[in-house]
Structure 1
Amino acid sequence: MTSRPRQVVILGGGHAGVRCAQELARRRRPSDHLEVVLVSRENAEVWHGLMPQILSGVLQPQHVLVPLREFLPGVRVYTSDVELVDLKSQRVTLSRGDESRPIVLDYDDLVLALGSITDLSRFRGLQEHGLQTKTIGDFIYLRNHLIDMLETAAVEPDPEERRRLLTFVIAGAGFAGIEIASEANEFIRSSLRFYPSIDSREIRVIEVDILTRILPAFEQRLADRAMARMRRRGIDLRLGVGLSDATAGAVTLANGERIPTRSIIVTVGVGTNPLLTQLPVPIVRGRVKCDEFCRVDGWPNVYAVGDNAAVPSPSGDPYPAMLLVAFTEGRQVAANVLAAVRGQSPQPVHVRRFGEVALLSRGYGLAQVRGLKLHGWPAAVLARSLFLTYMPTWRRRVALLLHWWSSAIFRRDISQLRMGRSDAVVPMRFSAGEMIVREGDIASRFYVITSGEVEVVQQTDGAEHSLRRLGPGRHFGELALLHNSKRTASVRAVMDTTVLAIARQDFASLVGNMPELQDVVQQAPPSD
């Protein structure tokens, strides 16, 4: 009888988690008897540093995605959400986001690589009206929005509304903010040839940050060069002043200035992944406290890497949340897991700082690398070369290089790529006898019956008991969603039945903003 392989479960498909999985798969030996599992909501590694180039059309969305299975042979990949982590039982519960049964994984070693989230709760109005820049979908939506503003302004007769449509505010002057502002500005201004009714002097791109300088990671002289270029290109830098309030038609700065706009682009508000706050682990400034080996304090078989890890550097301060740090931590955790398997001592994380690069446009970049300080096209070439070395396969490197070349030859276009859902409310049909929700499953939808009839049943002492029947106009599935629990009953179609299904996040938004709706739902008899 063979023993179960030692199971390493990595939660998160970002750069740190993927590097850890890749290194484990590459360096493990048959004698290690090791199984590597990666849990990621997406089936691809997303290269966030390239995403601003989607705005200007320099890159297409598929060029910033690398499928995990393309370069992680031998790694078991789950494209699921993490619902629960039980450190004491060494168990992780996953959900696919539908009404299927949860997936339970036991682990011997756990790697927390969940990354950060966007938290705009500190900024009044940004949650409702800010255009976020976290995901591929965010950037596609943002590019479509920029085109929408030009299309609408081109035929808008009201001068005040036209000025509002052609004013674009970017919150944040770090790497993401500066790159997004620069790419958006280039795209908007280069697109004006299609809109002869819009004068370039009408375009206002305004960058706002409470800091008094941009790109704090760069030395002052390089940052000043970037500031001077951005201003020459028409970007208005408002530094030393933060955002106070945002509405559907304006943003108010901390100094009281009100800027009418329909576009508030957000690159601020980094928050702790809520899953981490539920764990019995120490949190330091939003990140999990670790030792120099990336082990979580108090849990020797649990590691944390990347944005959600506070790993001490030789100076005693945590390493910053940067790309090369994530790479190094992921690889070092893989080495330390293998060392534990082989009875060897772990080694501390040691990050060799290569330097910083930033791409502000197709032909302009900044770079400070090992004492070398560059700006302009030499820095842009160096930055692109670095991204090519980061790509995990030669196929991806060649594809990226060819597209950079082609985008330099062909002019940008203003085609929109609509990718949103047609409806937040989805109609569904179930045949007689078909189970709609199952007792004990993780809840993902709220249902309203439009035709037919369903029966609510519950298991008691191994026997099924009917609780009630529901017909058109009635609803079910709310209880587990409201209390963030598993389904307490099953619901089965008695006859052919149609329902309207609302996804968990949409239902949460509705009841969160409509207390009267929550009261109505809670007063109805429980049905799940």
Structure 2
Amino acid sequence: MSAQRIVVVGAGFAGLKAVQRLERELKGELARGEVEVVVVNPHDYMLYLPLLPQVAAGVITAQSVTVPLPRAIKRAQRLPGQVVGVDLQRKVAVVRKIDENVVDLPYDRLIITAGSVTRQFDIPGLEEHGLGMKNLGEAAYLRDHVLSQLELANASTDPEERAARCSFVVVGGGYAGTETAASLELLTDAALKRFPRLDPTLVKWTLVDIAPRLMPELGQRLGEEALDLLRRRGIGVRLETGVEEVTADSVTLTDGSVIPTKTLVWTAGVTASPLVKTLGVELVRGRVKTTTDLRLDGYEDVFVLGDAAAVPDLTASPPGSALCPPTAQHATRQAVIAADNVVASLRGQPLREYKHHDLGLVVDLGGTQAVAHPLKLRLTGMLAQLVTRGYHLYALPQARTRARVVFNWILHLFGGDDFIRIGFLHGRKSETSSFEETRDYLSEEEMKQRASAAS
């Protein structure tokens, strides 16, 4: 009798946790060869996304926010590649390996933790000129870009060019956008001492969001305190304002104003991985609709969780009337339930429903500044920063990863930044579709052709 194969798509927060849980719960079956677990991921690391703004700002190194899969995964097989399509009828995941070969990977159980990508809008010039902040490549590119703008402005004698290069626009007033603007504003402020010809008043950061409030998830009071803190630091915040057009030299906003700039950072939300569109199933707000036990409705052998899943929130009133937000907190907890349910389905046992009360949010605004809303408490300042960084250390997998982050925080606190551009991304286009590889997924027609060829 052949082994039951469990395929896990992705090794982010949800994927890695699910694999580790499966390894623990199926230790005996894995040892006897009765079950095999295969995790498909294009990189050999899990990325801790919440600290990406600090990577871009040079507070911590890129390696510090990665969890090496060879150390984190003990018994599961690792297939280096990307699942670019799923044939639910044939029970096959289509994998494009890192050598560009495309292969079919049959499964008995499938756990989809494909995550999310930057949400784009049909705004002229956005794809060509907008910079993302969703992976290590984009964070490294953004840091290089920001520092290069200061260098070029310092070398320029044209007042208009200098002003445009010293103006930075971040779109998205949520968690990611606010932290990115706050962290990089501290970077440019500290870097100015390296550029004596630059007038510090030229350097301007602007945070733009269509919503009426900044980070509404924090609640009105904390959101207003964060807004006041950013404005006192000189960061312009434009609420109830969107982007109408982006060019290489400017950003036009929906209120008609034009900001001369060479930098637009787009963090206006995320959407589920394009993989979900290859499933041919019902989507809710772009995510895969699941049952309360995290299964794909109608497919008892397929589980979907994390950012790609529309999971009913049983803590809402009434239960299930809302969806669980796509956060790392929910993803890691869904992974435990999904892995346990996969094990239960193999053993003929009943499955559990997913239910988790959100523990709150933490937002690092750089230096000693932060706002936090843990367990319904409202915190600001140094105490909020301690809670925020304590939470990140708690959430980071593996002690060696935590040690790297702490060492980087201490080194940056006492040694500052060297303001070095890495340079290896010079000449690369900035499109998020290139960095996030969203063009690599198979179309519906390509999926049909593969199914037809297989039959």
TM-score normalised over the length of structure 2: 0.90
CA-to-aligned-CA distance 1:41-64 (integer Å, 9 cap, x gap): 111000110010012211011011
Which consecutive aligned stretches of 4+ in structure 1 deviate over 3 angstroms post-superposition?
97-100, 421-424, 483-488
> For 2:68 and 2:172, how far apart are their aligned partners in 1?
30
In the TM superposition, 1:355-394 aligns within 5 A as 355-394=360-399
Indicate whether 1:25 and 2:3 are aligned: no
**Contact 2:42/2:98 (<8 A) preserved:** no
Question: Given the superposition, is the C-alpha separation of residues 396 and 293 from structure 1 closer, same or farther in structure 2, using an over 3 Å criterion?
Answer: same
Aligned partner of 2:122 in structure 1 is 122
Aligned partner of 1:182 in structure 2 is 182
Question: Given the superposition, is the C-alpha separation of residues 335 and 321 from structure 1 closer, same or farther in structure 2, using an over 3 Å criterion?
Answer: same
Indicate whether 1:338 and 2:339 are aligned: no
Q: Which amino acid in structure 2 is aligned with residue 288 of structure 1?
A: V
The alignment of Structure 1 onto Structure 2 pairs a total of residues equal to: 430
**Contact 1:82/1:94 (<8 A) preserved:** yes
Aligned partner of 2:401 in structure 1 is 396
Aligned partner of 1:11 in structure 2 is 9
**Contact 2:288/2:309 (<8 A) preserved:** yes
Question: Given the superposition, is the C-alpha separation of residues 289 and 244 from structure 1 closer, same or farther in structure 2, using an over 3 Å criterion?
Answer: same
Give the match's secondary structure for 2:404.
helix
**Structure 1 position 487, deviation (Å):** 12
Indicate whether 1:87 and 2:88 are aligned: yes
Give the match's secondary structure for 1:51.
helix
In the TM superposition, 1:110-509 aligns within 5 A as 110-314=110-314, 315-316=319-320, 317-420=322-425
Question: Given the superposition, is the C-alpha separation of residues 129 and 485 from structure 1 closer, same or farther in structure 2, using an over 3 Å criterion?
Answer: same
**Structure 1 position 376, deviation (Å):** 1.0
**Structure 1 position 124, deviation (Å):** 2.2
Q: Which amino acid in structure 1 is aligned with residue 203 of structure 2?
A: I
> For 1:487 and 1:9, how far apart are their aligned partners in 2?
23
**Contact 1:282/1:297 (<8 A) preserved:** no
**Structure 1 position 337, deviation (Å):** 0.8
**Structure 1 position 36, deviation (Å):** 1.2
> For 1:327 and 1:99, how far apart are their aligned partners in 2?
30
**Contact 1:171/1:208 (<8 A) preserved:** yes
Give the match's secondary structure for 1:70.
helix
**Structure 1 position 273, deviation (Å):** 2.2
Question: Given the superposition, is the C-alpha separation of residues 487 and 147 from structure 1 closer, same or farther in structure 2, using an over 3 Å criterion?
Answer: farther
Question: Given the superposition, is the C-alpha separation of residues 121 and 223 from structure 1 closer, same or farther in structure 2, using an over 3 Å criterion?
Answer: closer
User: What are the ranges of 5 or more consecutive residues in structure 2 without an aligned counterpart?
Assistant: 430-439, 451-455
TM-score normalised over the length of structure 1: 0.78
- Per residue, is there more helix in 1 or in 2? 2
Give the match's secondary structure for 1:79.
strand
User: What are the ranges of 5 or more consecutive residues in structure 1 without an aligned counterpart?
Assistant: 425-443, 445-479, 489-528
Question: Given the superposition, is the C-alpha separation of residues 158 and 71 from structure 1 closer, same or farther in structure 2, using an over 3 Å criterion?
Answer: same
**Contact 2:66/2:401 (<8 A) preserved:** no
Give the match's secondary structure for 2:19.
helix
Q: Which amino acid in structure 1 is aligned with residue 250 of structure 2?
A: A
Counting aligned pairs with the same residue, the percent is 33
> For 1:86 and 1:113, how far apart are their aligned partners in 2?
16
> For 1:484 and 1:138, how far apart are their aligned partners in 2?
29
**Structure 1 position 352, deviation (Å):** 2.9
> For 1:397 and 1:88, how far apart are their aligned partners in 2?
43
**Structure 1 position 97, deviation (Å):** 4.2
Question: Given the superposition, is the C-alpha separation of residues 271 and 352 from structure 1 closer, same or farther in structure 2, using an over 3 Å criterion?
Answer: closer
> For 1:114 and 1:11, how far apart are their aligned partners in 2?
6
Q: Which amino acid in structure 2 is aligned with residue 25 of structure 1?
A: E
CA-to-aligned-CA distance 1:429-454 (integer Å, 9 cap, x gap): xxxxxxxxxxxxxxx9xxxxxxxxxx
**Contact 1:358/1:367 (<8 A) preserved:** yes
Q: Which amino acid in structure 2 is aligned with residue 265 of structure 1?
A: V
> For 1:99 and 1:357, how far apart are their aligned partners in 2?
39
**Structure 1 position 274, deviation (Å):** 2.1
Give the match's secondary structure for 1:217.
helix
**Structure 1 position 118, deviation (Å):** 2.0
**Contact 1:38/1:78 (<8 A) preserved:** yes
**Structure 1 position 286, deviation (Å):** 0.3
Give the match's secondary structure for 2:120.
coil
> For 1:202 and 1:224, how far apart are their aligned partners in 2?
26
**Structure 1 position 410, deviation (Å):** 0.5
**Structure 1 position 119, deviation (Å):** 3.6
Q: Which amino acid in structure 2 is aligned with residue 14 of structure 1?
A: G
> For 1:396 and 1:87, how far apart are their aligned partners in 2?
37
Give the match's secondary structure for 1:80.
strand
**Contact 1:54/1:140 (<8 A) preserved:** yes
> For 1:245 and 1:221, how far apart are their aligned partners in 2?
32
> For 1:391 and 1:177, how far apart are their aligned partners in 2?
21
> For 1:280 and 1:195, how far apart are their aligned partners in 2?
54
> For 1:280 and 1:346, how far apart are their aligned partners in 2?
25
**Contact 1:38/1:75 (<8 A) preserved:** yes
- Per residue, is there more strand in 1 or in 2? 1
**Contact 1:281/1:298 (<8 A) preserved:** no
> For 1:12 and 1:218, how far apart are their aligned partners in 2?
29
> For 1:31 and 1:265, how far apart are their aligned partners in 2?
48
